[in-house]
A and B are shown apart, each in its own frame.
Chain A
Amino acid sequence: MSDTGGNGYEPKIVAFLCRWCSYAGADLAGVSRLIYPPNVIPMRVNCSGRVDAGMVTEVLAKGADGVLIGGCHPGDCHYVNGNYKTRRRVQLLKAALEQAGVNPERVHLEWISASEGGKFQKTVEGFTKKVQELGPSPVGCDD
């Protein structure tokens, strides 16, 4: 059943993908038929700069084991500089999560361009494996 290997735990992950780069990169992975594990549920936002701490913590609170954020490469943001704001925000958020007892590695920010279908695949593979190793999240409604 599992195509992620490892300990067999199938983590739930939500991804926020910016429309212009990462979401398009994910589409390209599809067009190129690059196979990756189905653990990540993608959600399209216009800009990674739209992603705030509230959204990330809500995902964890609702029972997900990890959050992936995909933005444009530095200098390539469709909205001038939204990805820089995300980078700062994610750094702060990770510090806050750690203080709250949540492993900050459950949140991952990656720059994926519209032409990087392969990078999207590798990112999902790598992050799924990472979260699988971390095991079920201690946060969430059932705990």
Chain B
Amino acid sequence: MNIKRTVDTEAVADSLREYDDVVFTTDYDYMCSDPGQRMVREAIAAHRLDGVVVAACSPSMHEPTFRSAAIDAGMNPYLCEMANIREQCSWVHEDRARATEKAIRISQLTVEKVRGNVPLEPILVDHSEKCLVIGGGISGIQAALDVAESGFDVILVEKEPSIGGHMAQLSETFPTLDCSQCILTPKMVEVSRHPNITLMTYSEVEEVSGYIGNFRVRIRKNPTYVDPEKCNLCGDCVDVCPQSVPSVFEQGLVERKAIYIPFRQAIPSSYTLDEHTCLGLHPLRCEECFKVCEPKAIDFDMHPEIIEVDIGAIIVATGYELLPLTSLPEYGGGRIPDVIDGLTFERLLSASGPTGGEVRRLSDGKIPKKIVFVQCAGSRDPELHNSWCSKMCCMYTAKHSLLYSHAVPDSEAVVFYIDIRAGGKGYEEFIQHVIEEERILYIRGKVARIYQENGKIVVWGVDTLSNERMEVEADMVVLATSTEPHPTAKALAQRLKISCGGEGFYKEAHPKLRPVDSLTAGIFLAGAGQGPKDIPEAVAQGSGAAAKAVALLSKEKLIHPPEVASINEVICGGCSVCVSMCPYEAISISEAGVAEVNEVLCEGCGTCVSACPTGAAQLKNLTDVQLFQMIEAALLDV
């Protein structure tokens, strides 16, 4: 139906009526509907068809639909093909006559493909029943627990020394204001105790090969130099350690030692010796920690461990980072010490944070009497920064202003916003509560510049409702900085062969209907790595990805597409060029001196076909002969 506007589908059907071997053509507005599928089944039965071409949308949408219809009608599904006259024709052209001509060519070449297709049987393969979850934030934790609860083994890989992710840093969570760590840490403990979960912290996925059901994954476990079984968390090592760096968990508000635990409830509950901060391990320059460690938990001889595992399904949950403050020089980011980001403010608000929950200025430790909160700092700003909405900031800014006004009773909080986006359950009510009952001043406007003058911070912007210039003095400024994909996401995506969008977030297989599938079968997405998300959404997607993974792991056998390479033994010269070209080691030379294909290993890329000097190597249902006929059909006069 949405094809007809630019393509004359009747003309397409008519053009094929006289085509070789075509015995029946028709056109219908809703081919994928039940009646449409029934038409396909009835036509197969009535004309005893051994080939069907459905000229409609992309095969990635409905090929499975029509192949199922073919099976129902008793036809081999691999004799059914789709001609994509929607995504790659009607939707991208305006000239009806020329779009129709192109649709005819696409349909003709697809008929040619079907004419050359042969019936194939799916190849059934065994698979691993293990699931790998990459990333131990709340989304990865949820995914790991759900898969483990379904009875499958899970390996949870986290590159930091503890799981918990950004949620562990938060003070209270919107809109209910329940304590973040209080709801998170029981789940972290559950991960560490679950018999089906192998937790690998301080570890990274180095290499991934294979395919759905049978991935081979290499994980590098970095040495912590502390045996978690022996460590009793006394902390004596920390007292004597002479080296320190800013704590990442505390957003740099305080320093941590070279030997450290990121936060008290860390899982695994053990210290980590960061070898880059340590005075030196090779050769050993200091062994103060070792000397005071009573349970003898410190082992300087630990080495990186490389673990290789067979994995059936992978869930990628690598989360987000905030746009660095230094990327916002117009707001004094990185230059004015009392201009901070949202996560830093969370640590100031947190009862377990470095100030014990007292909001204090970084510059002089004084309690700020007036804070300006700036939303969309680096978000929704395609000219200078990121184009997207970071989604969680409207809510956490409201929460920040409320918690601050409660913590400092005679304080003043001002929020600059462009729009308020409060689409979640109870969110709008929360915002209204903050504005009306907590009397936080909300100014609709864009902040242009933040600078220091006479010991005060000046926020300079425009009130877009009154069109007046605004200059607001503040003791502290909290920027709701933009949410970005984790910096390591791109490299990981390359290792996994999954796609990232232009902004760097992982790309889902379909923006609406397959939001947790990646474009690579067997790899699923969860959490803010796929796009900015708050906690409930990250948890929901974690559960969704887990359900997808479990559905896959529960299958007795997986179907491997049978469109694989085959060798014509009569003309194969045994030169073994194909053997060297095959990326899967699926081809070998038989005792008879000709190439043979292991169909389970073959992924059907066809690289061997294009390299074969004799034409002996062919792809099933996309042979050279078929391709040549398709080319001819594509270029026929119509």
Q: Are B106 and A62 in contact (CB under 8 A)?
A: no
Q: Are B60 and A50 in contact (CB under 8 A)?
A: no
B608 CB, nearest partner CB in chain A, Å: 9
Which residue of the partner chain, among B59, B99, B499, B563, contacts A114 with CB atoms under 8 Å? B499
CA distance A20 to B604 in the complex (A): 12
CA distance A121 to B606 in the complex (A): 26
B141 CB, nearest partner CB in chain A, Å: 28
CA distance A58 to B630 in the complex (A): 11
CA distance A6 to B82 in the complex (A): 34
Once A43-B634, A62-B631 are accepted as A-B contacts, the answer to whether A35 and B519 lie under 8 Å apart by CB is: no
Given the complex, which residues of B lie within 8 Å of A62, measured CB to CB?
Answer: 631-632, 635
Once A38-B95, A115-B501 are accepted as A-B contacts, the answer to whether A27 and B88 lie under 8 Å apart by CB is: yes
What would be 19 A-B contacts, judged by CB atoms less than 8 Å apart? A12-B635, A26-B87, A30-B87, A33-B92, A35-B94, A41-B105, A43-B109, A46-B604, A46-B619, A46-B622, A49-B607, A50-B622, A52-B609, A55-B631, A59-B631, A80-B584, A114-B499, A115-B501, A115-B502
B487 CB, nearest partner CB in chain A, Å: 17
Q: Are A115 and B507 in contact (CB under 8 A)?
A: yes
Q: Are A38 and B60 in contact (CB under 8 A)?
A: no
Q: Are B630 and A43 in contact (CB under 8 A)?
A: yes
Annotate B514-526 by CB proximity to A: 1 below 8 A, 0 otherwise: 0000011000000
B497 at the interface (CB under 8 A from A): yes
B98 at the interface (CB under 8 A from A): yes
Once A50-B606, A58-B628, A82-B607 are accepted as A-B contacts, the answer to whether A76 and B92 lie under 8 Å apart by CB is: no
B617 CB, nearest partner CB in chain A, Å: 11
Within 8 A of B (CB), among A70-109: 75-82, 85, 89
Residues of B whose CB lies within 8 Å of any CB of A are 58-60, 84, 86-89, 91-95, 97-99, 101-102, 105-106, 109, 209, 494, 497, 499-502, 507, 519-520, 563, 581, 583-584, 603-607, 609-611, 619, 622, 624, 627-628, 630-632, 634-635
Q: Are B609 and A50 in contact (CB under 8 A)?
A: yes
Query: How many residues of chain A get a CB closer than 8 Å to chain B's CBs?
Result: 51
Identify the closest chain A residue to B58 (Cβ): A27
Once A27-B58, A115-B499 are accepted as A-B contacts, the answer to whether A51 and B635 lie under 8 Å apart by CB is: no
Once A42-B106, A47-B607, A64-B635 are accepted as A-B contacts, the answer to whether A55 and B91 lie under 8 Å apart by CB is: no
Residues of A whose CB lies within 8 Å of any CB of B are 1, 3, 12, 14, 20-21, 24, 26-27, 29-31, 33-38, 41-47, 49-52, 54-55, 58-59, 62-64, 75-82, 85, 89, 113-116, 121
Q: Are A30 and B88 in contact (CB under 8 A)?
A: yes
CA distance A41 to B105 in the complex (A): 7
Given the complex, which residues of A lie within 8 Å of B92, measured CB to CB?
Answer: 29-30, 33-36, 38, 121
A100 CB, nearest partner CB in chain B, Å: 18
A114 CB, nearest partner CB in chain B, Å: 5
Which residue of the partner chain, among B93, B209, B507, B606, contacts A47 with CB atoms under 8 Å? B606
B43 CB, nearest partner CB in chain A, Å: 24
Q: Are B519 and A82 in contact (CB under 8 A)?
A: no
Given the complex, which residues of A lie within 8 Å of B605, measured CB to CB?
Answer: 46-47, 49-50, 78-79, 82
CA distance A14 to B105 in the complex (A): 11
Given the complex, which residues of B lie within 8 Å of A37, measured CB to CB?
Answer: 93
B499 CB, nearest partner CB in chain A, Å: 5
Once A64-B635, A82-B605, A115-B501 are accepted as A-B contacts, the answer to whether A24 and B610 lie under 8 Å apart by CB is: no
Q: Are B607 and A38 in contact (CB under 8 A)?
A: no
Given the complex, which residues of B lie within 8 Å of A24, measured CB to CB?
Answer: 60, 519
B417 CB, nearest partner CB in chain A, Å: 30
Q: Are B519 and A44 in contact (CB under 8 A)?
A: no
B84 CB, nearest partner CB in chain A, Å: 7
Q: Are B499 and A41 in contact (CB under 8 A)?
A: no
Given the complex, which residues of B lie within 8 Å of A27, measured CB to CB?
Answer: 58, 60, 84, 87-88
Given the complex, which residues of A lie within 8 Å of B632, measured CB to CB?
Answer: 62
Q: Are A38 and B631 in contact (CB under 8 A)?
A: no
Given the complex, which residues of A lie within 8 Å of B563, measured CB to CB?
Answer: 46
Given the complex, which residues of B lie within 8 Å of A12, measured CB to CB?
Answer: 635
Q: Are A85 and B581 in contact (CB under 8 A)?
A: yes
Given the complex, which residues of B lie within 8 Å of A76, measured CB to CB?
Answer: 494, 497, 499
Given the complex, which residues of B lie within 8 Å of A31, measured CB to CB?
Answer: 87, 91
Which residue of the partner chain, among A14, A38, A41, A44, contacts B93 with CB atoms under 8 Å? A38
Once A43-B109, A114-B507 are accepted as A-B contacts, the answer to whether A79 and B607 lie under 8 Å apart by CB is: yes
CA distance A116 to B98 in the complex (A): 25
Which residue of the partner chain, among B102, B109, B622, contacts A45 with CB atoms under 8 Å? B622
Identify the closest chain B residue to A75 (Cβ): B494
A133 CB, nearest partner CB in chain B, Å: 19
Identify the closest chain B residue to A81 (Cβ): B583
- Interface centre among B94, B99, B603, B607, by most chain A C-beta atoms within 10 angstroms, is B607
Given the complex, which residues of B lie within 8 Å of A42, measured CB to CB?
Answer: 84, 88, 106
Given the complex, which residues of A lie within 8 Å of B101, measured CB to CB?
Answer: 38
CA distance A20 to B630 in the complex (A): 20
Given the complex, which residues of B lie within 8 Å of A54, measured CB to CB?
Answer: 624
Closest 5 CB pairs of A and B: A30-B87, A50-B606, A52-B610, A79-B605, A80-B583
Given the complex, which residues of A lie within 8 Å of B606, measured CB to CB?
Answer: 45-47, 49-50
Identify the closest chain B residue to A51 (Cβ): B610
Given the complex, which residues of B lie within 8 Å of A36, measured CB to CB?
Answer: 92-93
| Other A-B pairs, 14, CB within 8 Å; known A30-B88, A38-B93, A58-B631 | A24-B519, A31-B91, A36-B92, A36-B93, A47-B607, A49-B610, A50-B606, A55-B624, A63-B635, A76-B494, A80-B583, A82-B607, A113-B499, A116-B502
